[in-house]
Homo-oligomer: A and B are copies of this chain.
Amino acid sequence: MDLQLLEERIQSEAMVVSPDVLRVDMFLNHQIDTTLLDAIGAEFARLFADEVGRVTKILTVEASGIAVACAAARYFSVPVVFAKKGSSNRTLDQQVYCAPIYSFTKETTSTVSVARRFLSADDRVLVIDDFLANGAAARGMLSLLEQADATLAGIGIVIEKAFQPGGLALRAQGLRIASLAVISSMEGGTVEFAHYD
């Protein structure tokens, strides 16, 4: 993808609603630009090209991860599994893997779950999500994979907020993470991007 395109959309349409929170409702999280979505899927396929034909599933969390995960999955020709935000009756069900996800924005912990039959030790999984900030959602998904004895191929993120600790901590664990846009700062409401080689 022309990554410039994504950065331009963030600059022109995203709203910095607090020092930590970026709202991308205009094109990703409430209204979804389907042309941009296709480009995002193609870029994940390019960044994880060596995993095309190897990964067996793409894992994300409802609701905002679903569109980008499906856009990527077309290029990998694999199913998407989306973790469901837990209702108590699901999580009491012994047929699901569960993990807690703490939301720093809402200051609440929610539970996500995946039915056991959709993740197994035979699966090699690419995790896809819209945002990486503190890494709570990613760690929740990693916990689901560990419970299933599935293999993590890598983590693909649309927008990483590098001034929050999730990306650094996950990379320190040796995990492969690819982010399409990396925001280094939102101070004063101005979005600045970092570019890695």
Interface residues of A (CB under 8 A from B): 25, 27, 30-35, 37-38, 57, 62-63, 66-67, 70-71, 73-74, 77-82, 84, 114-115, 118
Contacts and interface: CB of A to CB of B under 8 A. Distances in A.
A74 B31 contact: no
A61 to B, nearest CB: 9
Contacts of A32: 66, 70, 73, 79-82
B31 A73 contact: no
Contacts of A82: 30, 32, 63
A73 B34 CA distance: 7
Given A25-B118, A63-B63, 6 more contacts: A27-B79, A30-B81, A30-B118, A31-B118, A34-B74, A34-B79
Contacts of A84: 30, 63
Contacts of A38: 74
A16 to B, nearest CB: 17
Contacts of A35: 77
A63 B33 CA distance: 17
A62 to B, nearest CB: 4
Contacts of A62: 62-63
Given A63-B63, A66-B63, A71-B70, A81 B34 contact: no
Nearest to A118: B31
Given A62-B63, A67-B70, A70-B70, A78 B34 contact: yes
A66 to B, nearest CB: 5
Given A63-B62, A82-B63, A34 B70 contact: yes
Contacts of A78: 34
Nearest to A27: B79
